[in-house]
Amino acid sequence: MTIRGKKQEEKEEKRRGYVLSKRSYGSFQRAFRLPDGVDANIAAKFQRAFFP
């Protein structure tokens, strides 16, 4: 079984006299070996809502 995902985050803070901007992004993948006999026909999707 393989789990794949992407992360993308942007953050901007306006402070006195300057603006602080942070960006983080990338993809990841994890693989697991399942025991024999396990039905691995599974699909899923997750999307986090943006809350300021």
7 DSSP 8-state letter: E
Count structural domains, the chain: 1
Note if the pTM is more than 0.75. no
Per-residue pLDDT of the chain (52 residues; tens, 9 = 90+): 888 888 888 888 898 889 989 988 899 999 989 899 888 787 888 777 766 5
Considering the domain boundaries, does residue 49 fall inside one?
no
Specify if 9 maps to a domain. Answer: yes
In a domain, 26, yes or no: yes
Q: For residue 25, give its domain range.
A: 2-31
What is the structure's pLDDT at 27? 92
Please choose, from the candidates 14, 13, 10, the residue with its C-alpha nearest in 3D space to the C-alpha of residue 23.
10
Spatial contact of 32 and 1, defined as CB atoms under 8 Å apart: yes
Reference 30, options 48, 4, 51; nearest CA is 4
Instruction: Give the residue among 32, 24, 19, 18 at the shortest CA–CA distance from 6.
Output: 24
Residue 20 falls inside a structural domain: yes
Decide if 46 is inside a domain: no
